């Protein structure tokens, strides 16, 4: 397992970090829940094989993730890894809620402190809440009493908001969504380099776009990857493109099977920066262009268009529409869309008021594109 310096913090972490948002599931009766025994086995296997960064959050698996991570870190495992969890701002109504939540998280995790405490999923709205509720003052108090060792934030908004937040505080780290398809989306590569230039370590989330870049690939995308002179799996190419950036400190991947975990441990044994040849980078560009050519609506899922006064689930409808062409899954998209119809969140509810188009940062002609989507997947 390759490690990297965690910038100025004076320690190294494994380049592969275990994301605990997609732990293995087990069927119990009608419902699925986390397979706790397998999840603990996997977290410990990861640590035994050199993974020294574990990422969880208050809401993952409806609270079960922190509890399971806490159990996995017993019997000497806590001391072998850096532990990150996140403050869910949407559960905070007052200053008093902040310490109550952190204490609840420490109890779930069975620890006295976390190494990294992140403001979860910051965007312009939650950043405003951070300022109004004086959350940074609270976090500094928790640093002083030792319940938190380092401060950071995870991010889901546009680049200018990212730069504003980066410039507003001396962060110990930040976490952004990045993968070969999101090069120019949200913080993107420009945000990565912006943070990197300021010496802020960057942790990557959704490196496989939630798994879509690793499995069930369209046949033409697979054929492109096969043109590479060195044979690698699509997941390996996606990780390689990321670990090639020297600014990347840790790449988190959620693994839902032991097989995936072992595969990623193998892949990250090679995770050195600046290893991709021009030929390899060109191939990634071709793959990205192919995906793009199959994309009908360049919706980034920022949800600025929501809430729609009529309840139309705009970003989800665009995702289903795009998926027909990217992943060749018309049946799945149509079935997902049907569920929106049942809940009256489909395109037939649209009265063309245009409120969404005024707030879309991508300037998408939403009304027209919704009609196209409806025609395709209804």
Would strands 25-28 and 31-34 be described as parallel, antiparallel, or unpaired? antiparallel
State yes or no: residue 216 binds ligand NAP (CB under 6 A).
no
- The secondary structure of residue 88, as a DSSP letter, is -
Residues in CB range of 197: below 8 A, 6 or more apart? none
Measure the CA–CA gap between 162 and 170, rounded to whole angstroms. Answer: 14
199: closest CA among 172, 227, 161? 172
Pick one of 7, 42, 69, 205: the residue that binds ligand NAP (CB under 6 A).
205
Piece of 75-83, 260-268, 304-312, 336-344 that binds ligand NAP (CB under 6 A): 260-268
- DSSP bridge pairs for 117: 85, 151
User: Residue 18 is encoded by which pair of tokens?
Assistant: 């275990």
- Residue placing its CB nearer to ligand NAP in the complex, 42 or 366: 42
Pick one of 154, 186, 322, 345: the residue that binds ligand NAP (CB under 6 A).
154
- Residue placing its CB nearer to ligand NAP in the complex, 58 or 318: 58
- Residue placing its CB nearer to ligand NAP in the complex, 19 or 364: 19
Cis-peptide, bond into residue 197, ω within 30° of zero: no
Q: Are the CB atoms for 181 and 288 separated by under 8 Å?
A: yes
- Cβ neighbours of 80 (radius 10 Å): 14
Q: Are the CB atoms for 142 and 117 separated by under 8 Å?
A: yes
For 178-214, strand residue ranges (E) read 202-205
Q: What is the dihedral of CA 33, 36, 41, 46, to 10 degrees?
A: 60
State yes or no: residue 72 binds ligand NAP (CB under 6 A).
no
State yes or no: residue 161 binds ligand NAP (CB under 6 A).
no
CB of 196 to ligand NAP, least distance (A): 19
Number of residues that bind ligand NAP (CB under 6 A): 29
CB of 82 to ligand NAP, least distance (A): 13
By beta-carbon distance, which residue lies closest to ligand NAP?
19
Binding mask 266-305 for ligand NAP (x = CB under 6 A): ----------------------------------------
Binding mask 41-70 for ligand NAP (x = CB under 6 A): --------------x---------------
- DSSP bridge pairs for 204: 176, 251
Piece of 137-145, 217-225, 256-264, 306-314 that binds ligand NAP (CB under 6 A): 256-264
* Interface residue list for ligand NAP (CB under 6 A): 19-22, 55, 86, 120-121, 154, 156, 175, 205-211, 214-215, 235, 252-256, 260, 263-264
């Amino acid at each position: 397992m390759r490690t990297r310096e965690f910038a100025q913090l004076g320690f190294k972490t494994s380049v592969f970090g275990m994301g605990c948002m997609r732990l293995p599931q087990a069927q119990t009766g009608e419902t699925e829940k986390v397979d706790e025994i397998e999840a603990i086995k996997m977290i410990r296997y990861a640590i035994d094989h050199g993974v020294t960064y574990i990422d969880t959050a208050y809401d993952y698996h409806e609270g079960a993730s922190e509890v399971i991570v806490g159990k996995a870190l017993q019997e000497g495992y806590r001391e072998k890894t850096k532990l990150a969890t996140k403050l869910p701002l949407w559960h905070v109504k007052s200053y008093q809620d902040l310490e109550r939540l952190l204490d609840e998280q420490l109890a779930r995790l069975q620890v006295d402190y976390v190494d990294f405490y992140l403001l979860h999923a910051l965007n312009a709205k939650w950043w405003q809440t951070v300022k109004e509720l004086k959350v940074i003052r609270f976090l500094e108090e928790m640093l002083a009493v030792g319940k938190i060792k380092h401060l950071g934030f995870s991010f889901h908004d546009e680049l200018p908001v990212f730069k504003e937040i980066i410039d507003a505080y001396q962060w110990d780290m930040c976490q952004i969504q990045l993968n070969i398809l999101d090069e120019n989306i949200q913080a993107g590569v420009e945000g990565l380099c912006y943070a990197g230039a300021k010496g802020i370590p960057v942790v990557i989330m959704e490196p496989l776009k939630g798994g879509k870049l690793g499995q069930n690939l369209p046949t033409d995308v697979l054929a492109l990857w096969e043109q590479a002179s060195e044979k690698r799996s699509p997941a390996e190419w996606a990780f390689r493109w990321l670990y090639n950036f020297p600014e990347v400190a840790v790449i988190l991947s959620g693994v839902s099977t032991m097989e995936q975990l072992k595969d990623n441990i193998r892949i990250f044994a090679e995770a050195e920066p600046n290893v991709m040849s021009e030929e390899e980078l060109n191939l990634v560009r071709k793959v990205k262009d192919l995906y793009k050519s199959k994309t009908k609506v360049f919706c980034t899922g920022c949800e600025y268009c929501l809430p729609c006064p009529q309840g139309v689930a705009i970003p989800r409808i665009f995702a289903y529409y795009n998926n027909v062409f990217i992943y060749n899954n018309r049946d799945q998209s149509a079935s997902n869309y049907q569920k929106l119809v049942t809940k009256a969140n489909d395109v037939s509810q649209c009265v063309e008021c245009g409120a969404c188009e005024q707030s879309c940062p991508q300037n998408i002609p939403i009304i027209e594109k919704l009609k196209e989507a409806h025609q395709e997947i209804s």
